[in-house]
Structure 1
Amino acid sequence: MRAAVIERYGEPPVLRDVPEPTVDGATLVEVIAAPLNPVDLSIASGKFYAGSPPTPYVPGGEGIGRLLQNGKPGPRVYFRAALPNGALAERAVVSQSQTVPIPDSVPDGVAAALGTPGIAAYLALTRRAQLKAGETVLILAASGVLGSCAVQVARLLGAGRIVAGARDEQQLARARELGADAIVDLKQTDGLSDRIREASGGQLNVVIDPLWGVPGVAALEAMSPFGRSVQLGQAAGPEAVVKSGILRGRYLSILGFTNFLVPWEEQAAAYRTLVDWATSGKLKAEFEVLPLEAAPDAWKRQASSPHRKLALSPQARG
């Protein structure tokens, strides 16, 4: 079968013919679309904090596909794939218990885009930040897939005021269309905490932070007493200097988050909620489905943080 294969750490995948995977007690799925996520590139760098599989391996931790029943395609599902037999292939090995049925009304690209980033956005706001109705939320990196989803989820959860922070003017305008009440340009770092405070109306309860670095610290400096900042990425840098007095004096909480440590049942429930919202038109996701042969170029595009979800499809043709 055809698959995108990581042959060397730090390099894009290459298309290869590989044997069909077989694992006792598991189920095969015919892959329809496999989204690329930042974590895929981190793992393929060979420097991922949780470790990387030996090369060569097939990347991709999730996808949309049809369960193979007696060799024939069955129900369409969202699935999780386990490395080294990842989702960037014509078929992948899955545990049937880690699949979620997808309604026919939801396009493949939308279903793919709502996976890892959508689940993270939803659970960061609910499970970790415990967002309350009426609270003010700042979404950093609102131009990304996770950020744009978080803006919409915060609105659907009843946030009183939503502030979107990003570096791209067009994407900031898009964030307003998706439900943000105010925007903050992150390109200029001078006075950033003051601008965040002003955009928040002087009250900032929750921060969703995939950036860390300078923007993450500025957000902490702008937070109100008892604020909660959920840290789920380091796109602006792996290190940040935070004055301890800010944390102590305002009783602030910095809460780490990763999907990896959330039980599957909770992730599946979050995904079902997102799909329900998408089905009813309450949640939008921007995506682009590319043929599997485009994996090397798509990998490079993912490294430059595209503003839409890129998904690779073995069934598409370039």
Structure 2
Amino acid sequence: MDAAVLPEPGTPVFTSFDEPAAGPGQVVVDVRVAGVNPVDVATAAGAFVTRPPFPSVAGREGVGTVEGRRVYFNGCVAPFGAMAQRTVVPADSLLDVPEQLEDGLAVAMGIAGLAAWLPLQWRARLQPGETVLVLGASGVLGQIAVQAAKVLGAGRVVAAARDAGSLQRLADLGADATVDLSGEPSVAELAERIRTAADGGVDVTIDPVWGVPALAAMGAARRGMRHVQIGHSAAASAELAAGGFRESMVDLLGYTTRHVPRDVVAAGWVELTGHAAAGRIAVEVERAPLADVARVWQRQVASAHRKLVLVP
């Protein structure tokens, strides 16, 4: 079958791969679209918590069919992956895709979407009227988080990004204010910008970047702010000053979807995809044939700011 294969760590190549066969508790999925994500790039480079065997097929998530049932899947049985005509996944991991939801947008609601929705709804327990700050908001996860915060009842949403060209797009998606993270502002300078944009302070932060932006967000916290840490694209470490952190009584909450209870993920998927199917949450989707995987891979490395999907 056609597949995007990793012969070694790095960029996958379009070639042929063995047909998958389902073992006990597994099913073969006919892939309709496969998502391309930062986690795929990290995994392929051997820089993620789990490392693939080589050779193997790249990709974790996609939408496909199993005996006529259209499903979303995340997590394939090695050495198979999502970026192929067919893959094999645990049978109990499948999630049904709403009839009205297009394949590409459904994939966008998976890794990126759930990592935006569940930190707000389940981890931070966002309350109606609260102010939400989304760091790294120009990415797919951030764009979804801005819209999800509105859907969940946030009173004010602040979108912060390094890509100044994306700020107007974020306002169009519902952000009440934006903050430019470009340049090298100090923590104090950036905290003041965030505080002003938040009209006084932040109740919940969604943070896929860490580093200086995270410290600034905590510097702009209202007392009891929940800071949900989901990634470190800006820096792997940040030096917290105990006084301000303690005085604001900030709750620093780690998050990764793979440790969320299965029933919580399933319920979140139904809610999130329902809003997407109704047009309340949208992301620009860029489709490309599987044969173009090398080019699309580099688009992801360069931060495309849209959902990239491959079509076998």
| TM-score (normalised: structure 1) | 0.94
Cα pair 2:164 2:182 within 8 Å, conserved: no
Q: Which residue of 1 aligns with 2:79?
A: 84
- The one-letter amino acid of 2:213's match is P
- Say which SS state the counterpart of residue 306 (structure 1) adopts: coil
CA distance in 2, matches of 1:187, 1:53: 35
1:298 to 293, 296, 299: 296
| TM-score (normalised: structure 2) | 0.95
Deviation at 1:51, TM superposition (A): 2.7
CA distance in 2, matches of 1:51, 1:145: 23
CA distance in 1, matches of 2:99, 2:123: 31
CA distance in 2, matches of 1:237, 1:256: 16
Q: Which residue of 1 aligns with 2:208?
A: 210
- Which runs of no fewer than 5 residues in structure 1 stay unpaired? none
Counterpart mapping for 1:9-158 below 5 A: 9=9, 11-25=10-24, 26-48=26-48, 50-67=49-66, 69=67, 74-82=68-76, 83-158=78-153
User: Is the deviation greater in 165-174 or in 196-205?
Assistant: 165-174
Deviation at 1:113, TM superposition (A): 1.0
CA distance in 1, matches of 2:192, 2:223: 16
Cα pair 2:215 2:238 within 8 Å, conserved: yes
Deviation at 1:21, TM superposition (A): 1.2
CA distance in 2, matches of 1:215, 1:257: 18
Q: How many residues align?
A: 307
CA distance in 1, matches of 2:284, 2:234: 23
1:170 to 165, 172, 175: 165
CA displacement, residues 98-122 of structure 1 (integer Å, 9 cap, x when unaligned): 1122233211111111111100101
Cα pair 2:206 2:229 within 8 Å, conserved: yes
1:219 to 205, 217, 220: 217
CA distance in 2, matches of 1:187, 1:216: 14
Deviation at 1:221, TM superposition (A): 1.1
Counterpart mapping for 1:244-259 below 5 A: 244-259=242-257
CA displacement, residues 31-88 of structure 1 (integer Å, 9 cap, x when unaligned): 000001111111111122x230221111211110011x3xxxx121111232321111
Cα pair 2:61 2:110 within 8 Å, conserved: yes
- Say which SS state the counterpart of residue 237 (structure 1) adopts: coil
CA distance in 2, matches of 1:298, 1:166: 23
Deviation at 1:242, TM superposition (A): 1.3
CA displacement, residues 101-156 of structure 1 (integer Å, 9 cap, x when unaligned): 22332111111111111001010101111111111000011111000000000000
User: Is the deviation greater in 97-106 or in 248-257?
Assistant: 97-106
CA distance in 1, matches of 2:113, 2:261: 16
CA distance in 2, matches of 1:135, 1:235: 26
CA distance in 1, matches of 2:155, 2:309: 33
Instruction: Supply the RMSD in Å over aligned alpha carbons.
Output: 1.2
CA distance in 1, matches of 2:308, 2:34: 8
CA distance in 1, matches of 2:293, 2:243: 47
Q: Which residue of 1 aligns with 2:236?
A: 238
CA distance in 2, matches of 1:294, 1:265: 36
Counterpart mapping for 1:187-202 below 5 A: 187-188=182-183, 189-190=185-186, 191-202=189-200
Deviation at 1:12, TM superposition (A): 0.6
Deviation at 1:305, TM superposition (A): 1.3
CA distance in 2, matches of 1:60, 1:266: 24
Deviation at 1:170, TM superposition (A): 2.8
Cα pair 1:136 1:206 within 8 Å, conserved: yes
Percent identity for Structure 1 against Structure 2: 45
- The one-letter amino acid of 1:27's match is V
- Say which SS state the counterpart of residue 43 (structure 1) adopts: helix
Deviation at 1:169, TM superposition (A): 2.6
- Which runs of no fewer than 5 residues in structure 2 stay unpaired? none
Cα pair 1:114 1:285 within 8 Å, conserved: no
CA distance in 1, matches of 2:145, 2:277: 17
Deviation at 1:95, TM superposition (A): 2.3
- Say which SS state the counterpart of residue 157 (structure 2) adopts: strand
- Say which SS state the counterpart of residue 142 (structure 1) adopts: coil
